[in-house]
Chains A and B, each alone.
Chain A
Amino acid sequence: MELQRQAQRILLPAKVSFIVLTVALALLFNLLPWRNSAGVPDLTAAVLAFWCIHQPRRVGIGVAWTLGLLLDVGNGALLGQHALGYSVLAFLALAVHRRILWFPLWQQALHLLLLLLSTQVLTLVIRIAAGAGFPGWTYFAGSFICAALWPVLSFLLLLPQRRAEMMDENRPI
C-alpha cells in the first residue's frame, strides 16, 4: 500500500533556490533570541537531515559543516561543536537515505529522532570533555519536538515538488 503510494508520486526536481531558502529560514529560527534555549527544537538540524535524505547529491557533509560553524559563532559556543555534530548527522542521514523513504512518515520520524539524539549526545560528550556541566534533561527535549514535527516538515518541504495528480487546463494546481 505504502509502496504504491510512494510510486504514484513522481516528484518534480527540487530547486536549489528553495533549498537555500529553507535552510536560511531554519538558520534564522535557530538564531532567534530565545529566552531559555533548553527545549528549543534544532530546526536547522532537521531541515539539514531532510535535504540530506531527499537531495543527497546537493546537500552533504560540507554544507552541514559550514552551517554548524555559523551556528557555533552565532551561539557563542565552542568553535567546531555544531560543525562536528552536523557533519556526523549529515553522514548518518546520507547512510540511511536510500532506506528511510520506504517507511511511512511516523517511522521516518523515529529514524530522525535517533539521528538527532545521537548528534546531541555527541555534542554533550564534547562539551563535558571541554569542561562544561550537564545542562539538564530538557536539553534532549528539542530532538523529540523536532521528530514530532517531521511529518509536517516533510509535507511543507516537498510541497513545491508535487504536481497535480490529475492535470487540468482550467485548474493551475
Chain B
Amino acid sequence: MEHQPPPFFNRGPAPLVRLSFFVSLAVLLMVLDARFRYAEGVRQVVAFAAYPIQRVAMAPVDLFHGVANYFGSTAALQEENAALKTKALRAAPELLRLEALKEENNQLRRLLEAQERLPGKSVFAEILYAGRDPFSRKVVIDKGSHNGIQAGQPVIDDVGVIGQVTRVYLLMSEVTLLSDKDQAIPLQVQRNGLRAVAYGGAEGGMLDLRFMAANADIRNGDTLVTSGIDGTYPPGLPVATVARIERDAAYAFAKITLAPTAGTERYRQLLVLSGEAKAPPPAEAEQPAQKPSRSKRSRKRE
C-alpha cells in the first residue's frame, strides 16, 4: 500500500533546483544580451508590458511639474519672454545670412557636382527620466520608433551634443550620454582643426581626450566641435571645452580632460537629428572567394 502525501505537503521541486533553473535562464539572457544582442526581441516584448507601469510611475512627477507650472509666477514668465525675444532678435541677422550662405553653398556644390546635402530633419523630444542603471549614463526620451527615431541618431540640446540614441522602443528611446564609459565621439579643435577622439567615463561626468601627443597644440579653454568624419554626427556641433591638461614627460600622450558643453541636468527639451550626415559607404572588404583563385593562378604560373 502506497500512501500519497496530502496535497498541502507537496511543494514542487526543491529550492536549489528552482534556483539553478532560474539562474541559468538569467545567465543565458545576459550572455545573449551582452555578447550577441539577440535578446532585443525579448526586451521589446517586456518593454511593451512594462510601459503602463512606467507611465503610472511617471504620473506623480508630471503632476508636480503641472502644479509647479501653474503656480509659476507671471513675472518669471515675462522675464523669460523678454530674454527670448532679445535672443531671437540677436540671432535674426545670423539666420538670414545663414539662409543666403546655405543657398550659395548648394549652388557651389551643384556646380562641383558634389553630393547635395539633404536638409537635416530633426525630432523634438523631452527627457522622461534619467537612467536608473547606476552602471551606465543614459536618459530616456519620450519619442520612439513610432516617431521615426532610429538607433544611432545624434541628440543635441540648444548648446551642444548630448549623446546618441542607442536603443529604440515603440514609444520611448534610450540616449547614451557622452559621459558613458562606452561612448566615443570624434572631435576637432575649433581653433586649429586638430582631430581627436573623446571617450566618456572620466570622473564627474567629464570626457577624456585620449591619444593626443604630449606636444599637441591644445590649450585650456579650447572649444571642441564634432569633426563629422564618422558620418554619424554632423560636423561643427559644439561638444566640450578643455578643462585640464596634464603633460608628463614620462608618457607619450597628454592627459586631457574635457567638460561637456551640454548638460542633461538643465533642460528637458532635446532635438534628435537625422538625415544631415550621410555615412560614407563602408570600405569594400576583399572577397575571400577571389583569393583561392588567385593562388591557383599563381600556382599555375609556377
Q: How far is the CB of A72 from chain B (nearest CB, A)?
A: 8
Residue A60 at the chain B interface, CB threshold 8 Å? yes
A79 touches B30 (CB 8 A): yes
**Can you name 14 A-B pairs with beta carbons within 8 Å?**
A31-B54, A32-B61, A33-B128, A37-B130, A40-B132, A60-B15, A61-B15, A69-B29, A77-B132, A80-B33, A84-B26, A91-B15, A126-B30, A131-B181
CA distance A146 to B42 in the complex (A): 30
Majority secondary structure, A binding face: helix
Known: A61-B15, A73-B43. A33 touches B130 (CB 8 A): yes
CB distance from A35 to the nearest CB of B (A): 6
In the complex, the answer to whether B181 meets A65 with C-beta atoms within 8 Å is no
Whether A88 sits at the interface, judged by CB under 8 Å, is yes
Interface residue? B250 (CB, 8 A): no
Contact of A88 with B23 at beta-carbon distance under 8 Å, contacts A62-B18, A78-B33, A133-B201 already known: yes
Question: Which B residues, 35 to 65, have Cβ-Cβ distances below 8 Å to chain A?
Answer: 39, 42-43, 46-47, 49-50, 53-54, 56-58, 60-61
Which of B15, B22, B53 is the one whose CB lies under 8 Å from A74? Answer: B53
- B15 near A28 (CB under 8 angstroms)? no
**A139, B135: Cα distance in complex, Å:** 9
Complex contact A132–B181 (CB within 8 A): yes
* B132 x A34 contact (CB < 8 A): yes
- Does B255 have its Cβ within 8 Å of any Cβ on chain A? no
Q: Are B22 and A87 in contact (CB under 8 A)?
A: yes
Contact of B133 among A33, A57, A76 (CB under 8 A): A76
The answer to the question of A41 belonging to the interface, with a C-beta cut-off of 8 Å to chain B, is no
CB contacts (< 8 Å) of A34 on chain B: these are 129-130, 132
Whether B19 contacts A74 by the Cβ 8 Å rule is: no
A28 to B131 Cα, complex, angstroms: 15
Cα of A75 to Cα of B138 in the assembled complex, Å: 10
Residue A38 CB within 8 A of the other chain: yes
A2 to chain B, nearest CB (A): 27
CB 8 Å contact bits of A33-61 with B (1 = contact, 0 = none)? 11111101000000000000000010011
**A130-B130 contact in complex given A61-B18, A73-B47, C-beta closer than 8 Å:** no
Residue A19 interfacial (CB < 8 Å): no
Closest CB of chain A to B158's CB: distance in Å? 20
Is B30 in contact with A84, judged by CB distance below 8 angstroms? yes
Chain B: interface size category: 35 or more
Is B136 an interface residue, CB under 8 A from the partner? yes
Q: Using known A-B contacts A27-B53, A74-B54, A76-B167, determine if residue A87 contacts B132 with beta carbons closer than 8 Å.
A: no
Summarize B's interface: helix, strand, loop or mixed: helix
Q: How far is the CB of A167 from chain B (nearest CB, A)?
A: 28
Contact for B22 among A29, A61, A130, CB less than 8 A: A61
Given contact pairs A65-B25, A76-B140, A84-B27, A37 touches B132 in the complex (Cβ within 8 A)? yes
Contact status of A36 and B57, CB under 8 A, knowing A62-B22, A79-B33: no
Number of interface residues of A (CB under 8 A): 48
Is B76 an interface residue when CB atoms closer than 8 A count as contact? no
B174 interface hit (Cβ, 8 Å): yes
Cα distance A60–B18 in the bound complex, in angstroms: 9
Chain A residues positioned under 8 Å from B53 (CB to CB): 24, 27-28, 31, 70, 74
A57 CA to B49 CA, complexed, in Å: 26
Alpha-carbon separation in the docked complex, A107 to B195 (Å): 59
Q: Is the CB of B26 within 8 A of A83?
A: yes
Nearest CB to that of B56 among chain A residues?
A28
Cβ of A108 within 8 Å of any chain B Cβ, yes or no, is: no
With A28-B56, A34-B132, A74-B54 in contact, is A79–B18 under 8 Å at CB?
A: no
Q: Tell me if B26 and A65 are in contact (CB < 8 A).
A: yes
B104: CB under 8 A from chain A?
Answer: no
Give the residues in chain A near B201, CB-CB below 8 Å. Answer: 133
Q: Is the CB of B130 within 8 A of A36?
A: yes
CB of A137, distance to nearest CB on chain B (Å):
11
When chains A and B are docked, how far (Å) is the Cα of A126 from the Cα of B136?
Answer: 14
**CB contact list, B62-120 vs A, under 8 A:** none
Which residues of B have CB within 8 Å of A57? 11
Answer whether A135 and B49 are a contact pair too, CB < 8 Å, given A79-B29, A126-B30.
no
In the assembled complex, B292 has its CB within 8 A of some CB on chain A: no
